[in-house]
Chain A
């Protein structure tokens, strides 16, 4: 590590951990819906990232129209819910009992459709949002450094969503049915539970979390066509690490990916600089750190082929 120009290692580590947790919470918001839909409905929904994008564009549109961040959030969520209802009814429902390849093809088509549609509506220029005044500014973590309030808000939102989901799934009758359905759909159905209504509800709730994450992403990064696809790949890594169908797994997986990715980007170059010159180290580290989470996934799968928190499957 470099010394002599005041390199504060503790502070740097605290900040990078916060960055990792923030990225992890953000991934969790999207991964939670993905893992529920995959685990309970046994549907691979590649278009989950598109719902994230719809949330972001809804936010950009309504925040622009009303001039208020919170009104924008309030208005964009129903749009996401409506899109999710339509997608579930028109595309997903006929595919429940088909194999995964059909679902992948159909939802991939949906990605192309939604991307082109968004291009027609909003054009190809990315949109940018600002952090609302009350959420801008920083919070003092130690005497010498402070962290952006908005990123702390995202961490808190992630924790809140995790708590709500935990409560629903562990403490309510609906949650019990969801857990039962994830293990064996046929038995639950034959016991007289309206599985179709549950399917729709889970799909829409999952979409809402993704849309919410999209809306929150606007002020951090540009809102552009295709923004959901890169995120979706990361989220699949999260749920595969965590164990498909498990909310707890999605949370742990997302945090692991978030922290691993951030730490790789943060400290790998310095590590490599011990052995080689600056420019080469930066180049190699940039390549390695983008690989790091996939290496993590491989490592987890070698020892736990069904993920960290596997959900028991019957049949």
Chain B
């Protein structure tokens, strides 16, 4: 049965596979990302943000000809493995990027590193590669997973909430989310609930929230799950009664669009927002709107920053990656580019040290957006860095 489904998928994707830009002896970068399913827009935005940086340079990165191969992992680790093996053995890519989900990264990253190539994540930052498992050729340009939810915990703390009801799907990233939230939130945890991954109906959980009467709810339900939950939460009449404090993945612009006015006023936190006041960001948002006719999500900003990080390192080495491993690595570590999120530097474990901003959902001309209202924490580093011997 599974094979049949895979054959179908293969046929469906044959048409889109490997859209190659440029050619000849260009440097090859492999992008393994999630383009299909309810979470497909995450990968599509990372890809589009990355491509925007290339389009701005006329198909180059850091003045170097680059060929980028894009493939969909369909949110399946086995697909990620197959694509990575093909990229590394047949296509001889020198950098692999694009991975969205933390169940794909532990498959793709070790393969890449063992082959002596660079792995640069535009999204997923699982804890296993941040502490003892850190690697000299492994970089994360987005965030370490826990810090996303730590920012929500700090935000809830500074908003003065005394207790919270917290909820996430029953899988590794969900458990990390609740751990992250609790790390800096000092209030009482009224209840913590694990839901099924991909659950569509949250009536039972919503009844528990109503009965528990917490001061606030924190949920990590990315993509379609979050949309379903938020709509049902509103239908149950709770969105006016018990506020939510969220992390960026539970309040991206697609979720706001689908849920609508019920989310207005919701506090959430992120390392980037479309209205951040810096030159690089203004140019990026305007460029993205012009190129794709839609506002960029947080994932698009990460794709763009990843591409420009790679560009800065390529410029420094004159296009050498595998031929000048030490030079390229040092250039990456320097992170000599203007990130659209503002101040950005790498910690010893090659994960970002960056600011987290507090945002609130507003309605502007019938559109729902996040508005930056302040900085939650400046120069925040993850808590695994000290375990990394680099």
Which A residues form the contact surface with B (CB < 8 A)? 2, 5-9, 11-12, 15-16, 19, 22-23, 108, 112, 116, 119, 124-126, 128, 130-131, 136-138, 145-148, 150-151, 219-222, 224, 227, 262, 265-266, 269, 278-279, 282-283, 285-287, 290
Contact = CB atoms under 8 A, between A and B. Distances in A.
Interface stretch (B153-161, B209-217, B347-355): B209-217
Contact of A19 (B192, B204, B228): B204
A221 B41 contact: no
B192 A279 contact: yes
Kindly state the interface size class of chain B when it binds its partner.
35 or more
Contacts of A119: 12
Nearest to B259: A128
Given A116-B12, A128-B227, A222-B228, A12 B207 contact: yes
24 contacts: A5-B214, A12-B211, A15-B207, A19-B203, A22-B203, A23-B201, A23-B203, A112-B5, A124-B40, A126-B38, A128-B258, A136-B235, A148-B236, A219-B231, A220-B231, A220-B232, A220-B235, A221-B232, A222-B200, A222-B224, A222-B228, A227-B200, A269-B191, A285-B194
Given A11-B211, A12-B208, A19-B207, A5 B190 contact: yes
A286 B175 CA distance: 13
- The A contact surface, by secondary structure, is helix
Contact of B192 (A2, A8, A147, A278): A278
Contact of A5 (B5, B213, B235): B213
Given A116-B8, A116-B12, A283 B200 contact: no
Contact of A151 (B8, B41, B203): B203
Contacts of B5: 112
A282 B1 contact: no
A46 to B, nearest CB: 11
A293 to B, nearest CB: 13
A148 B238 CA distance: 10
B205 interface: yes
Contacts of B258: 128
A286 B169 CA distance: 9
Nearest to A12: B211
Given A108-B1, A285-B194, 10 more contacts: A5-B212, A19-B207, A126-B227, A145-B210, A220-B201, A220-B232, A266-B204, A266-B208, A269-B191, A283-B170
Nearest to A116: B8
B207 A266 contact: yes
Contact of A282 (B4, B193, B196): B193
Chain A CB within 10 A, most for which of B41, B213, B224, B235: B235
Nearest to B11: A116
Contacts, number: 116
Contacts of A147: 236
B210 to A, nearest CB: 6
A119 B227 CA distance: 20
B237 interface: yes
Contacts of A222: 38, 200, 224, 227-228
B260 interface: yes
B38 A125 contact: yes
B151 interface: no
Interface string B184-198: 000001111111100
A124 B192 CA distance: 32
B269 interface: no
A131 to B, nearest CB: 6
A138 B237 contact: yes
A10 to B, nearest CB: 10
B306 interface: no
A286 B190 contact: no
B253 to A, nearest CB: 14
Nearest to B168: A282
A103 B86 CA distance: 39
A150 B235 contact: yes
B266 interface: no
Contacts of A282: 192-194
A224 B8 contact: no
B212 A7 contact: yes
Nearest to A144: B210
Contacts of A6: 213
A306 B178 CA distance: 44
A286 B196 contact: yes
Nearest to B200: A221
B145 interface: no
A290 B190 contact: no
Closest 5 CB pairs of A and B: A221-B200, A12-B211, A19-B203, A286-B194, A15-B207
B38 A224 contact: yes
B239 to A, nearest CB: 12
A112 B8 contact: yes
B124 to A, nearest CB: 20
B223 to A, nearest CB: 9
A131 B201 contact: no
B162 to A, nearest CB: 10
B163 interface: yes
Contacts of A15: 207, 210-211
A111 to B, nearest CB: 10
Given A8-B211, A124-B37, A290-B196, A262 B203 contact: yes
